[in-house]
Structure 1
């Protein structure tokens, strides 16, 4: 069983979408969760994130979770949405360095390492973020 943890800031937009996208691929032997560096525990995914997932017929049932030692230890691979998320994890959990990558770094993307944060944006921005995540996750699957 391989365990993948997606991490963003509040665990209401990017990481829950990434989690739902990867889960929708129904890959045997893969367990997927998400968390946020500064998440309030128990929040739903943002309305636009849920709407975009629904429009792509992707199941989701999300409750935000704050990143903690237990989730870091649980994960075999931690994929962050930005370089600053990666750095925050490395500062707090230096022993996890071998398994923490930005999603773009992991997939070999050599342009801007950050997945754009749609928080507070309109539905079109969430749709763009979804498309970016879908493309990156497809590439990540090939590397796992």
Structure 2
């Protein structure tokens, strides 16, 4: 079986995604890892705090930032972003790759975090109903449109209330941003990323066994 190829994505490719890349490379040699940023300055160095942190851990590390481009996006079997906003930007720029774009925490979610899937399914269901309504209403005359719109808005209030309840129960799918913070904040983010990557590896191993 070919190695799985993962691209970690953050903002500037100087803090979170380089940490994710080096963590994965040091944990599993069956998975190839690269990293990039949605607003990276090509060639910029990693954050000094990241360098200090990895020196503390005796982890070899050299890095220069790179912007996520189509070649790199196509190279990856998975594009794992540090936050939901990074995910949205990747999907905006590469809409045809939605099947392989997740936040890192979303991809690594435990069973207790599957509430995220319930929320996504409900949100998709609401969007489909909206699209169908907007398509169908154009076939009606003005009076019928007003009546149908009122009925639809009544139904949507209930649907949106259910969606809001699901949203309030969601765990955060974002990795905290230590940029500009203390070395202790970088250590916290490192641990957060490491935990998610361990679960990500477990999922990939499980999926490989399942065939």
Report the TM range for the smaller structure's normalisation. over 0.9
Structure 1, unpaired ranges of 5+? none
Structure 2, unpaired ranges of 5+? 114-170, 205-211
Question: What is residue 130 of structure 1 aligned with on the other side?
Answer: 190
Moved over 6 A (4+): none
Greater length-normalized contact order (CA 8 Å, ≥ 6 residues apart): 1
Aligned to 2:190, the other structure's residue is in SS state helix
More helix as a share of residues: 2
- The answer to whether the Cα contact below 8 Å between 1:24 and 1:59 also exists between their aligned partners in 2 is no
Q: Flag the structure with larger Rg.
A: 2
Aligned pair 1:119/2:121, yes or no?
no
- The answer to whether the Cα contact below 8 Å between 1:5 and 1:33 also exists between their aligned partners in 2 is yes
Length-normalised TM-score, structure 1: 0.96
Return the alpha-carbon distance in structure 2 between the equivalents of residues 89 and 142 of structure 1. 25
Question: What is residue 53 of structure 1 aligned with on the other side?
Answer: 54
Question: What is residue 199 of structure 2 aligned with on the other side?
Answer: 139
Question: What is residue 6 of structure 2 aligned with on the other side?
Answer: 4
Aligned pair 1:83/2:143, yes or no?
no
Q: How does 1:59-74 map to 2 (within 5 A)?
A: 59-74=60-75
Aligned pair 1:17/2:19, yes or no?
yes
Return the alpha-carbon distance in structure 1 between the equivalents of residues 28 and 91 of structure 2. 30
Return the alpha-carbon distance in structure 2 between the equivalents of residues 10 and 94 of structure 1. 21
Return the alpha-carbon distance in structure 2 between the equivalents of residues 134 and 59 of structure 1. 16
Length-normalised TM-score, structure 2: 0.66
> Residues 64-93 of structure 1: CA distance to partner in whole angstroms, max 9, x if unpaired?
000111111000001000000000010110
Return the alpha-carbon distance in structure 2 between the equivalents of residues 26 and 141 of structure 1. 8
Aligned to 2:63, the other structure's residue is in SS state coil
Q: What CA RMSD, in Å, does the superposition of the two structures yield over aligned residues?
A: 1.0
More strand as a share of residues: 1
Return the alpha-carbon distance in structure 2 between the equivalents of residues 59 and 66 of structure 1. 23
Aligned residues: 143
Aligned pair 1:104/2:105, yes or no?
yes
